Amino acid sequence: MMWSSQQFLTLSNIASVEQGASALAQQPRGVACLVTALSSAAASIAGHAASAVRHLAAHRAGLCAICQYAPAVPALVTALTHAHAPVVEAAATALACLSDDDTGTATLLQHAAAALPALGSCLAHRSRLAAEQAATAIANIADDSPGDAVLVKDTATVRALLSCLRTGCQHGAGASQAAEAPSSALVQRAATALESLAGLSEGAQPIHQADGAPVLVAALKHSHVSVIISSASALGSLASEAGSSREAVVAAGAPAALVACLAHVDAAVVEAAASALAEVAWDPPGRRAILDAGGIAALVACLEHGGNSVVASAICALNHLTIDSRGSAALAQQAHALPKLVACLKRGAPVAVKVKRTLECLVRHNASSTAPVLLSALYDMAQEHQQIGSLADATRNLQEAIIGAAGQLGKQAGAH
């Protein structure tokens, strides 16, 4: 016999405290009754039952009890389509709690074929709480190795995540407010999920196929730092895929938008943008777009940043930009670029390794303008730090390239 609404309310209140949740978790019949009631046509019964399950899932003992009762997750997934918003909110919250635990995630993934589409549909729910909790669950699943592999195949959920990000950025940019804007939390979690997905070897493809590059580029102007970082990282992952994926990133205007991010006050944003630019710069069209956007000057400015990770990312981007003569010439002509690059040698590996590669490219393409300056800068740095011996060892290949280039210039001058 089904319990009354008042009884389910009592169980919800009991489960709201850890001691009560632990006691209820030890009653399999009680857990089973709560799960069964999730599908009740009576809104009050389903609502109180869902609330009790939500409270259970927030505590370790209750979460384990839910995982051990086989019908629980399918019932919670079905509850995401309930007509009563509080039921959907509680079910989405319970699933978010499950997704934040290894045991819960493993149980959830057993039902991923039904769970992910249901959570994806819930992203557009009229209840902000339901949508946010669904996005949290998806982001947590995407951050799990087996989970993100499942998400790769769920193109509908990928499109739903992009839709959240797109709508959130449109409202943030002052677009028509006819429809209610997604909450900042929802947009952040959607961006996080897309970042995790894009980082997979096959994860960039569904985002690319859903025309995600323009959405991610627009998100670089979002007011929340975490959205910018996730979007820049996702763009970098898309650009790491040669072919149409990288081409779409360039065509969407990512190079100029990422260059603009290099002036951001947050170091994590700068690092993510520089890393993405390094991926964009693998192909000539990307390099041209970065150079046209003033990327060389912006990246050189990053070389004086306090954090090694930011500097390493900037040098990696400069390294790729100097593969051809145009980028190398632009860097050679940039005021104070060479002394700044040489100074970065003091940061040690892996920064110094990247610097040496960049300087070798500069010398190879622009010997006349770079060799004398570099020799002077290297000598000055060695004198300043009284490390002539160790510096010579660390930059031997670079110095040989510079001296060789200088000798070649001398021969050419003598011939004239």
| pLDDT value of position 178 | 44
Q: Between 70 and 335, whose confidence is greater?
A: 70
pLDDT tens track for 202-232: 888 899 999 999 999 999 999 899 999 999 9
Compute CA 115 distance to the chain's CA centroid, rounded to the nearest angstrom. 23
| pLDDT value of position 398 | 56
| pLDDT value of position 356 | 80
| pLDDT value of position 406 | 46
Instruction: Give the three-state DSSP class for 330.
Output: helix
Give residues with Cβ within 8 angstroms of 223, minimum separation 6.
172
pLDDT above 80 for 46: yes
pLDDT tens track for 155-185: 899 999 999 999 888 765 544 444 566 788 8
Amino acid at 37: A
Residue 384 structure tokens: 């300043």
Distance CA 242, CA 279 (A): 10
Average pLDDT score over the chain? 84
Supply the DSSP string of 66-110, one letter for each residue. HHHSTTHHHHHHHHTT-SSHHHHHHHHHHHHHHHTSHHHHHHHHT
Residue 31 structure tokens: 């857990």
Distance CA 325, CA 365 (A): 6
Distance CA 145, CA 119 (A): 18
End-to-end CA distance of the chain: 105
pLDDT band at 390 (very low <50, low <70, confident <90, very high): very low
| pLDDT value of position 241 | 87
| pLDDT value of position 171 | 63
**CB of 177 within 8 A of CB of 171?**
yes
**CB of 369 within 8 A of CB of 410?**
no
Distance CA 10, CA 5 (A): 9
| pLDDT value of position 57 | 92
pLDDT band at 88 (very low <50, low <70, confident <90, very high): very high
In the numeric block, the tokens 């940043």 are attached to 305
pLDDT tens track for 364-385: 766 566 656 665 656 555 555 5
| pLDDT value of position 109 | 86
pLDDT band at 342 (very low <50, low <70, confident <90, very high): confident
Compute CA 298 distance to the chain's CA centroid, rounded to the nearest angstrom. 22
Alpha helix (H) ranges present in 100-183?
102-109, 112-122, 128-142, 145-152, 155-172
pLDDT band at 81 (very low <50, low <70, confident <90, very high): very high
pLDDT above 50 for 8: yes
Mean pLDDT, rounded, for 51-66: 92
Distance CA 287, CA 249 (A): 12
Distance CA 105, CA 116 (A): 12
**CB of 280 within 8 A of CB of 289?**
yes
| pLDDT value of position 161 | 94
- pTM of structure: 0.83
Alpha helix (H) ranges present in 210-253?
212-219, 225-239, 244-251
Q: Between 66 and 307, whose confidence is greater?
A: 66
Mean pLDDT, rounded, for 386-409: 50
pLDDT above 70 for 279: yes
Lowest mean pLDDT among 273-287, 298-312, 330-344: 330-344
pLDDT tens track for 91-140: 999 999 999 998 988 898 888 888 999 999 999 999 999 999 999 999 88
| CA-based nearest residue to 394, from 364, 359, 361 | 359
Distance CA 370, CA 376 (A): 10
Mean pLDDT, rounded, for 265-293: 95
Mean pLDDT, rounded, for 340-356: 79
